[in-house]
Chain A
Amino acid sequence: MNAKSDQTMMLRTPFHSRVATACELNDWGSWKGYTTPRAYTDVELEYFAIRNAAGVFDLSPMNKYRIAGPDAQAYLNRLVTRDVSKVRVGRVGYTVWCNDAGQVMDDGTIFHLGENDYRICAYARAVDWLHWSALGFDVEIVDESDEVAALAVQGPTSCAALLAMGLEGLEQLKPFGLTSFPFEGETLMVSRTGFTGDLGYELWIAAHKAEALWDRLFEAGKPYLIKPFGSDALELARIETGFLQAGVDFLPAESAVRSGRSRSPFELGLAWLVALDKPVFNGRKALLREQAEGSRYRFAILDVEGNKPAHNAFILKGGNKVGTVTSAAWCPTAKSNIAFAQIEMPHGAVGEQLVAEVYYQRELHWTRVLAPCTVIDAPVFNPPRRRATPPGPF
């Protein structure tokens, strides 16, 4: 076996040795070609670790791109819909980016590391688009996906656990703040960000220090009931708190073969991310047009009656199909049955009553339920501890 074919085999994250030991269920999935656990022990228990103590998620397969150079800010401002000049050094901003047609290509976070030095963290691979976007800008784009390992530490005891690990002063870090600590000769970057809607942090470290970080974290976190969690538990948490998942709740625009399958930020409920007052950015002309002429769809969070998750359900109004569900879950903490749906305009306004056509199975017996549902105005999980600075001890 030569080196060339090794490089094409299924990849392992820098934490793999630790993850594999912890993954008692041996329940693996593929995340962009990386071997990643769907669950370690039990989805339910992992989910409650996030909501009750601290959960740890290996997010190393995320795509990470370093954008640096004199034009870095101008470049990003043309690339994404948000006004990047408002993301100060040491801050993180959530944003989406669009193609010229104003259709969302991906969502992600921008880390403002230093003067004209940024990192973009994205779901979809974006090197090609980032390079095309660099025409006319003096920036350097480096794909750091393999070099930077990352862990999300999420939940009410996450701050306490990290403080116990020696990250002094972390309690002062505000939401979407960014700080760093020395770690065994490398720099450990910590951002107060996450995908669970709870108090939480993300840790970024050079790949060769990944295992050491894991060990130190779990050692220090033991008294704080720290636990690793897999993608299934994350799915529950992110739906409960209203986060969109690329590839699930929308199709990255440039991977849509059929016309009309992509969505604009307005259609995903992300108008707040669009700074139309910026002079030029990707999608601006199309979004101005859409603003004037109206959108095709509306993103809705639905509170569905009953306890059967409305997976893949059609949404009906007066018996006619007006939308489809993209994500659905029974949310254990909020005790709500939540679904994200794409609703055809003009339907889907907050407060509107709709019907979800839900199919579920018990002991091989399928049942169809026409579950009434209501469009609600905000996610059902949004605790004050998520924003408190300094956070409470637990």
Chain B
Amino acid sequence: MKKYDAIVIGAGHNGLTNAAYLAKSGLAVAVLERNPYIGGATVSRELYPGWTYSNCSYVCSLLRPELARDLELPRHGLQVVPYGGGVTFKQDGDYYGNYYDHNRQYREMARHSKRDANAYERYSTDVMKQTRLIRPYLLQRPPDPSSLKPRDLRDLLGFARSFTGLGEEGLADTLKFWTKSVGDYLDEYFETDVIKAHLGGTGVIGTALGVYSPGTAYVLLHHYMGDVDGNVGSWGFARGGMGAVAAALAKSLQAFGGDIICDADVDRIVVSHGKVKGVALKNGDEYSADIVVSNLDPKRTFLDVMDASDLPADVVRKAENFKIRGSSGKLNIALDGLPTFNGLDKRSSLMLGDMHFTDSLERLERAYDDWKDETWSKDPYVDMLIPTQTDPTMAPPGKHMMTVFVQYAPPKINGGEWTDADKAGFEKSVIDQIAAHSPDFRDLILHCETRTPREIEAEAGLTEGNIFQGELTFDQLLFNRPFPGYAQYRGPVRGMYMCGSGTHPGGGVMAAPGANAAREILMDLRRPDIVPGGYADD
């Protein structure tokens, strides 16, 4: 039996981040990974010869720069390259494009509506206000409002101050923003369908909610609060694919002396007398450690690798009630060349960014109605990118790789498991939608990997294939994430911690949960806090 100071279950980006800080602090740490490769959903794989697929997460913005710098990820090979562009194709053959340059963006919007183009300036300001409010809390544990401990009271007071600093109406705006639907929010600013649809899609990405479900404005914020080199709201590619993030984290961890053990499928966390003792693998191997950190989602953590008899009853119930819903699927496609899109010049910079085909909030909402009826969206919302226009490393020269994130795909089809026929139907609905706007698309397809929630769950180990390890609804954010009373990374058993996206501040390849959890662990061990806080006044 091998002995470590700390074991981290799962080599996702948060597990690796967490382990890196524990190792940096001098602990003997091992990360156990079920798959033969690391990364979890932050992964790139060559599933077609010559093509690298970022087959789960596919773009990078939320990764906290404080952590990337502190863990020396650039030195370990990570390069995040921003991309511009983005376009929503309309059914009438026109499109709405997204430009980097502010004035050009204005003119493109004004082409559809001058009023919207002007309103967008106010919208950007208002969203930025909300973003600035939440960003300082990304690298902090959430305060517990039901606690009377001095640290919680102090944190709560600080939290309250940043809100009351907004003034009565400003605070009301914030509360409204956080409780409102993205559809209602956008309706307050804009009149043009395609502009609302272009902006609104991010309010539902990865969630089992529609654009008119209250709470989705916050999801929009969640996608907006990242930055690339200080440009808040912009997104980039990890050069070489998202696996490069995991690879750099792994190198950082190894440089601090940590171990990564692949093909190590954890059967259970061993608990004795209310204390963690280590973990047992499915193959019978055992590792002993006084600290075990789970990078798995809350359901897998508490209902799978932990024994109900080791847990308080309320935790089991809370884990059962935790909302983690499959809502999305993905197509990864190898292309023989760059496809042509109707109405768009082949050299257009718009193609460098996220491409969509849903030109109204109503279509987005109807796509959600299909999910509620337990079937994949017949007119899906896709977030499609061709990263090989920016990243020369992911496909042979002149060839391209396309990543298509698809919303909605339910965890079950009419109450049953996904069948291969369902998967084919899902794939067809997506390919048809793209082909309707790209005459040569179908002929360029060399290989297509289609992932329904079933595949995402099977490979990345995310329950129901939920990309955030739990819905980003308000009942599961901040001090409620994953559950009230357990939102500060400590589990219900001594020595047991959580560090996945199922904890604050949630998913999106931020690495913040992993870092925040490390801070709490080090505090419990009475070791110096080496985890950085956020940069001021971003």
Contacts and interface: CB of A to CB of B under 8 A. Distances in A.
A contacts B directly (C-beta below 8 A):
yes
A231 to B, nearest CB: 16
Interface string A1-28: 1101101111100000000000000000
B103 A127 contact: no
B125 A8 contact: no
Contacts of A125: 106, 117-118, 121
Interface stretch (A167-175, A196-204, A254-262, A324-332): A254-262
Contacts of A258: 132
Contact of B94 (A4, A30, A255): A4
B170 A256 contact: no
Contacts of A166: none
B111 A8 contact: yes
A37 B94 CA distance: 34
B75 interface: no
B125 A33 contact: no
Contact of A259 (B103, B107, B167): B167
Contact of B106 (A2, A33, A126): A33
Contacts of B94: 4
B348 to A, nearest CB: 7
B504 to A, nearest CB: 24
Contacts of A257: 125, 128-129, 132
Nearest to A143: B114
Contacts of A129: 118
A10 B99 CA distance: 12
Contacts of A222: none
A8 B114 contact: no
A129 to B, nearest CB: 8
A131 interface: yes
Nearest to B109: A8
A7 B122 CA distance: 22
B316 to A, nearest CB: 44
Given A125-B121, A255-B121, A9 B104 contact: yes
Nearest to B348: A5
A298 to B, nearest CB: 22
Contacts of B118: 125-129
A9 B114 CA distance: 16
Interface string B377-416: 0000000000000000000000000000000000000000
A8 B104 contact: yes
B107 A8 contact: yes
- Majority DSSP secondary structure for residues of A touching B: loop
Contact of B115 (A1, A30, A127): A127
Q: Which of A128, A129, A254, A259 has the most CB of B within 10 A?
A: A128
A255 to B, nearest CB: 5
A127 B119 CA distance: 8
Q: Which of B114, B118, B128, B166 has the most CB of A within 10 A?
A: B118
A32 interface: yes
Contact of A254 (B104, B106, B125, B348): B125
Q: Which of B104, B106, B132, B170 has the most CB of A within 10 A?
A: B104
Interface string B105-139: 01110010011011101100100110010000000
A7 B114 contact: no
B495 interface: no
B532 interface: no
Contacts of B203: none
Nearest to B166: A259
B345 A5 contact: yes
Nearest to B132: A257
B119 A128 contact: yes
Contacts of B111: 4, 7-8
B343 A128 contact: no
Interface residues of B, number: 29
B359 to A, nearest CB: 15
B165 interface: yes
Interface string A32-73: 110000000000000000000000000000000000000000
B243 interface: no
B114 A127 contact: yes
A10 B108 CA distance: 11
Contacts of A11: 107
A127 B167 CA distance: 27
A259 B133 CA distance: 11
B92 to A, nearest CB: 13
Contacts of A4: 94-95, 111, 343
Given A2-B345, A8-B99, A128 B107 contact: no
B76 to A, nearest CB: 34
Contacts of A7: 107-108, 111
Given A127-B118, A131-B115, A259-B167, A1 B107 contact: no
Nearest to A34: B103
B348 A259 contact: no
B505 interface: no
Contacts of A8: 97, 99, 104, 107-108, 111
A122 to B, nearest CB: 11
A33 B103 contact: yes
Contacts of A9: 104
Nearest to B101: A33
Nearest to B130: A257
Contacts of B104: 8-10, 33
A139 B222 CA distance: 40
Nearest to B119: A128
Q: Which of A8, A11, A143 has the most CB of B within 10 A?
A: A8
B132 A32 contact: no
A33 B165 CA distance: 35
Contact of A1 (B165, B170, B345): B345
Contacts of A254: 121-122, 125
Given A125-B118, A127-B115, A32 B103 contact: yes
B117 to A, nearest CB: 8
A30 B348 CA distance: 22
B442 to A, nearest CB: 24
A30 B102 CA distance: 11
B187 to A, nearest CB: 14
Interface string B47-59: 0000000000000
A30 to B, nearest CB: 7
Contacts of B170: 259
Contacts of B119: 128
Interface in B249-286: none
A128 B167 contact: no
A128 B115 contact: yes
B234 to A, nearest CB: 16
Interface string A350-394: 000000000000000000000000000000000000000000000
Nearest to B167: A259
A72 B119 CA distance: 22
A190 to B, nearest CB: 28
Contacts of B95: 4
B165 to A, nearest CB: 7
Given A255-B125, A259-B167, 7 more contacts: A4-B111, A4-B343, A7-B107, A9-B104, A10-B103, A11-B107, A256-B125
24 contacts: A1-B345, A2-B345, A4-B111, A5-B348, A7-B108, A8-B99, A8-B111, A10-B103, A33-B103, A33-B107, A125-B118, A126-B118, A127-B117, A128-B115, A128-B118, A128-B119, A128-B121, A131-B115, A254-B121, A255-B125, A257-B125, A257-B129, A259-B165, A259-B170
Interface of A: 1-2, 4-5, 7-11, 30, 32-33, 125-129, 131, 143, 254-259
The 7 closest A-B pairs by CB, nearest first: A33-B103, A128-B118, A128-B119, A127-B118, A125-B118, A8-B107, A8-B108
